[in-house]
Amino acid sequence: MRGQVRHVTFGEHYRDASQATEFLLALWDVVDEFRDCDVLLYQAGADPHIEDPLGGWLTTAQMRERDRVVFTVCQEMALPVAWNLAGGYQRDAQGSIRPVLEIHDNTMAVCVQVYGDGED
């Protein structure tokens, strides 16, 4: 698919906690559809978190699984993945964005788990 950009907004079809398992199972095939691409650009948004005031339907564990699926499929296909941290509108009792940062920290931790830390 040279010279083209394929865009998928996969989460737009899922908005309810009752759909989380279906979403996570289908995600394997969605990521695999990028097999013929040169790179996957993954927007690892925090707003699907169940406690996010603007989204909210995946638990913390499900968010980790989402990231694990994306990174695992990319690694298995030897498909480079570039990801960015996006979204997330939670605040703690002090008004800090720490809850969002924790979700983003989890994404980084999952990436390191899948790809290793580069140290032997």
Q: Any idea where the domains of the chain sit in the sequence?
A: 14-115
Say whether 91 sits in a helix, a strand or coil.
Answer: coil
Per-residue pLDDT at 113: 96
Per-residue pLDDT at 119: 63
Instruction: Round to whole Å and give the CA distance between 97 and 20.
Output: 24
Helix ranges (H only) for 12-97 are 20-32, 60-77
pLDDT digits (tens, 9 = 90+) for 11-65: 778 889 999 999 999 999 999 999 999 999 999 999 999 999 987 899 999 999 9
DSSP 58: B
**Tokens 């296909």 belong to which residue?**
77
Instruction: Round to whole Å and give the CA distance between 21 and 65.
Output: 10
